[in-house]
Amino acid sequence: MSTMSQVYTIIFLTLFLSLFCTTIGENNLHNNQQETQAYIVSVRNDLKPLYYSNVEDWYHSILSRTNSNPNDALLHVYKTVFHGFSARLSSDQANSLRSQVEVVQIFPDVIYQLYTTRTPHFLDLNTYNRPQGLLNDSNLGSNVVVGVLDTGIWPESPSFNDEGMDPVPPHFKGVCEGGEKFPPSLCNRKIVGVRYFTSIRLKTEQNSARDEVGHGTHTASTIAGRTLTKNVSFFGYAKGEARGIAPKARLAIYKVCWGSFCTSSDVLAGIDKAVEDGVDVISLSLGGLPSRYNNDPIALGSFGAFQKGVFVSAAAGNSGPTSGSLSNVAPWMTVVGASTIDRTFPADVILDNGEVLSGSNVEEGVVVKLAGGKGVIIAMNDPTIDANDTVIGEKPAPVVAIFSSRGPNRLSKYVLKPDVIAPGVEILAGWPNNIPPTGLEVDPRRSDFNIMSGTSMACPHVSGLAGLLKNAHADWTPTMIRSAIMTTAYRGYHHEMKRTTQNGHQVSYWVSGAGHVNPEKANDPGLVYDLTEEDYIQFLCASNYNVTEIQIMVKRPVSCDDKMKVNQWDLNYPALVMPAGKMAVRTLTNVEFTASTYIAKVEHPKGVSVSVSPLKLSFKVINETRKFSVKVSAMNGFMQNEDAMGSITWTDGNHHVTIPLIVVV
């Protein structure tokens, strides 16, 4: 090839995922005390002696009993969503702490991984210049602050322009502490707060909230990016406006990931500070292997966020299509899987023998590997690649991405996860313009935008949607917002597809959750399934958590009274997963100002008889509640080795409030 000096082509015959490393004992990490490791410590704050004016001094005293230097050992103090601290300790020191009466539990720090435009149009949120519907009702999210826990942010990105934005909402009390090369002047009315947490950091990275990976900038701009330029693209691909789901929402950035690593102690500290600062939504495009909720820092932190009225959305994970491969499963989080949109970037590679290989022009190695690809060709200025530009109207769409993690929920069998799917394949969003879009040193290109795939990209779509709904309905709880999103989600294909391609049963609920998000419908759900802290406590009791384990989560004394004990499937969740031969109860809350009557319609699972009582529910005023029961019985045709799936819809002719019905074996 005569122009070889201008051609940069790398063929990966073997792909590797440094993104998913799960150990921290590498030489390039700051840890000079290899004999120690980080632990998270749960403490009973009600036992604090009165002569300590604050918990920090008390925690120092507790640590000093272990023959450790608290000033060197202490990593984080948790005061809002969790009571306790994290510290770097030897195994002997950790065992010494376990014997302290104030200490409830100690568990080791773990490593989380990252789960790595046209989507507003695909979601019918395409009236930015003349807002209508949800965008109008929410003022484009102007009064909402979304906390983004990720790899930081590149504040100079055009996606974070604040021109014409209103003052920062007064309920937000955060600060702009960005560290090196991130002065407070880089915060504005869009980026309203910045913090970073450094229990682990690569030597090559600055002690700063600056994004040196790109992942955090991409997710933040997907949530709330807004550029003044109307025609942006990624080197000609995906031309158009680049804006987030909630264009006027504010961003509070909590850098908890360094390189490809995110420690659980940093993530818990980020959630703790985000809630203390006053965010309305927390977005987590990260995760790891799920564990019992009292040992899982993300589950612990997100429960504390729920207690403070903060909505938490989390990525499902990129371990599909394996069954039961979810990373985040706690019932108080909204877990998001990834789906396609109706836009693709096809490219043909012309081989020397004339053979043509068709593929995608922008997919990166991580996604190709997850999708089952055998190799990646990365090429710049290569005449043997025939780029077919951007194709709009690709059918069918949405389709669940093969890499999107699947249910069922391995920790809570009767709680549906993922909750919903959202766009997560080939998403255009903001990018640091000093980082190659491929992340490879041989790539000379630089761009303000990049195209990425993963449940990391799907999660911020729901974070932005939750922000819009919170702004439009300030009195809605996090569980009411989730219910509105789930009960209005659709199964099958987008309404712009030809009706002949509609297929409401293309995938299992374990794959798609309740379905694909439908923002405008979620703005007017009619009825919602709400949940309280006490509901979750009863659920945890039914799930065989003891009172000590539950107390770690709720941070107060609790009891599991046998007389009050409920079944796990009685949790008032907007999905019904239950065994055959049992009955479940649900409560609906009216969120309309007008009186209405709803009729139940049942899509019967195969081989299952479903009885709903009553079949009619009448509501007179807003916030009025009504209960109904569902009894399922196995019949001839019920498969003893296969879950049966159907649905229950309550409709008044205008609203259709649908929940999945899954009869498990």
What are the pLDDT digits (tens) for 61-106? 999 998 888 888 999 999 999 999 999 999 999 999 999 999 999 9
573 has a pLDDT exceeding 90: yes
CA distance 462 to 485: 9
Range with the poorest average pLDDT among 134-138, 294-298, 348-352, 579-583: 348-352
Residue-wise pLDDT for 424-467, tens only, equals: 988 889 999 998 887 777 778 888 888 888 999 999 999 999 99
Q: DSSP letter for 626, please.
A: E
637 has a pLDDT exceeding 90: no
Q: What is the mean pLDDT of residues 143-161?
A: 96
Residue-wise pLDDT for 212-243, tens only, equals: 999 999 999 999 998 755 555 444 444 556 68
Length of the chain: 665
* Predicted pLDDT at 260: 79
Within its chain, how far is the Cα of 376 from the centroid? 28
Helix then strand then coil, in percent of the chain rounded to 5, is 25, 30, 50
488 has a pLDDT exceeding 90: yes
Q: Tokens 């979304």, residue?
A: 146
Active site residues: 150, 215, 456
On average, the pLDDT of the chain sits at 84
Residue-wise pLDDT for 157-192, tens only, equals: 999 999 999 999 999 999 999 999 999 999 999 999
24 has a pLDDT exceeding 50: no
Q: Tokens in use for 245?
A: 């789901």
pTM for this entry: 0.86
For the chain, give me the number of helices (H) and strands (E)? 15, 35
Q: What is the mean pLDDT of residues 593-619?
A: 96
Report the 10 Å Cβ neighbour count for 396. Answer: 16
CA distance 574 to 594: 23
Residue-wise pLDDT for 502-516, tens only, equals: 344 447 999 999 999
3-state DSSP assignment of residue 469: helix
* Predicted pLDDT at 355: 60
* Predicted pLDDT at 438: 77
625 vs 392, residue with greater confidence? 625
108 backbone dihedrals φ, ψ, rounded to 5°: -70, 150
Q: Residue 99: is it exposed, middle or buried by C-beta count within 10 angstroms (0-12/13-18/19+)?
A: exposed
Residue type, 445: R
Decide: 509 and 575 in contact? Cβ < 8 Å.
yes
